[in-house]
A and B are shown apart, each in its own frame.
Chain A
Amino acid sequence: MAQDDINHFLKDVHWLMDILQNIDVGLVVLDREYQVCLWNQFMQNHSGKAPEHVLGQSLFDVFPQLPQEWFCRKAEPAFVLQSAAFTTWEQRPYLFHFPHYRPITGSAEFMYQNSTIIPLLNTHAEVSHICLILYDVTDTAISKITQTETNNRLEDLSRIDHLTQLFNRGYWESCLEQEFKRFDRYHIPCTLIMFDIDHFKRVNDTHGHSVGDDVIRVISQCLKEEMRETDVAGRYGGEEFCVILTATDSDGGLEFAERLRNRVENQRIMAQNEIRVTISLGVCELNESIENTQTWIKRADQALYHSKNRGRNQSTQN
């Protein structure tokens, strides 16, 4: 090789080495036994391990936290099939536990990492080594996680009644619509209960609104304790509540109503003196004659008024 060519070649290698050392991604070359053959600056700085402590060692000995079985499962296809493999922070937040290092704007405890594993061919076109490329995706991960959390919170806020933590009327009505459609398709019995607190205005007038709120809260709690996971409860209006009992017929609905009525009747609500309240309920099982959800609610309401007219603190089927 002419002197010029050698100089040229050396310069290229020198440049490439500089780039490998300074590039802001982690580069690790591993042989068939997963022994480290290259450990760039990024890896040195973030792990705090100098090349002389890592090179020639098994990656799993140097980083016992890295799950060997999992990593080999991802890396084997690169050796065997000569294809690249990818891992994302969504499946495993990190491969190497690198503490997050930005004191002011950092918001994570550790570096989230994506990685790519690529096969490296030797002169016989066989895969003798693989290269692990490690990307710092902390910012992306944090913003995605925050966004998901915010969306979930907004969704909850738009569905939940603040005072009772039951569903609000709007969301509950859309659930009722769903159940109505489901009945159309599968004909599994479904029962609606509407109920309200007897003489609630009197509670408010005598004890004040904050006690009134306590009463509403206590009754919501009774409802939550009584209902099953598949039932859908909401606050329909001021002191009016509603609950959809899935896979329940009218008699089952009446049983539920009576249990709830009893529970409420036996509650002692502490204010300056002890208060007791009762509720009146209306039960209506969905059937073919009910053409829409408004009618369904109206039927349950009619039963509720019947309970009121007969002296309150009772349940009526319609």
Chain B
Amino acid sequence: MTTKLLNEDQRDCLQEIANVAMGQSADRLARLLDVFVVLSIPTVGILTRNDIAMALQSLQQSNTEVTHGLTGVCQGFIGGGIAGEALLIFNGTNYHDLATLLRYQQSEGIKNELLMDTTNVLGGACLHSLAKQLDTHFSLGPPTLLNGNPDLASSLQERETGWSEALVIEINYSIEDHKVNCDLLLVISENCIDGLLEKLNYLLE
């Protein structure tokens, strides 16, 4: 991993913060759904645009054959000199299982409801915990459904973005005994990272 954007200490510190955020948001999810959430260690890395596009493509491929493209929700966050986008990508999720967990009577035709409900709980909790640890507050933009958008990965490679590298925190949530699995990707591009570095340095002092 190239760590031009982030030195070793800063990376460790951020890893620690991500671990706590994962724990707190998983705890919230577990309480809400009354289930065990399998804890995994978030990965913190600096990725190029190409890397991110490839990562998105691989999440897309592990989707079931029926859905094309990515299924999930994206949401912008900004505050304390930090700005980025949270992508909650569902792959290998059985929506009937998810509907049961969220206590819906039926599971037909409510996929968007399920995605939004999960985003409201997970995305919000994780970002809230991150912001709190960094002693700041994020404003969250309205979430947008990705609904099988097949061009997201390729447009990321083709479009002029004004950044080439980004900090990516990837957190996987899966639920014991249920076919429910999603990845939360927090992407902070290099041009929006200064505020974060400042906060990390402050914590390291």
Contacts and interface: CB of A to CB of B under 8 A. Distances in A.
B113 interface: yes
Interface residues of B, number: 19
A91 B113 contact: yes
B78 to A, nearest CB: 14
Interface of B: 28, 32, 75, 112-113, 116-117, 119-121, 124-125, 128, 140, 142-145, 147
Interface of A: 73-74, 77, 81, 83-88, 90-91, 114, 116, 135
Given A86-B143, A116-B142, A81 B116 contact: no
Contact of A86 (B32, B125, B142): B142
A259 to B, nearest CB: 31
CB-based closest 6 A-B pairs:
A91-B112, A83-B124, A85-B120, A86-B143, A91-B113, A90-B145
Residue of B32, B121, B143, B145 with most partner-chain A CB within 10 A:
B143
A317 B145 CA distance: 50
From A83, A85, A86, A116, residue with most partner B Cβ within 10 Å: A86
B112 A77 contact: no
A86 B120 contact: yes
Nearest to A115: B142
**Chain A interface main SS type:** mixed
A88 B125 contact: no
Given A87-B116, A91-B112, A81 B121 contact: yes
Query: B119, B121, B142 — which one has the most chain A CB atoms within 10 A of its CB?
Result: B142
A90 B143 CA distance: 11
B147 to A, nearest CB: 8
Contacts of B113: 91
A88 B124 contact: no
A83 B117 CA distance: 12
Contacts of B112: 88, 90-91
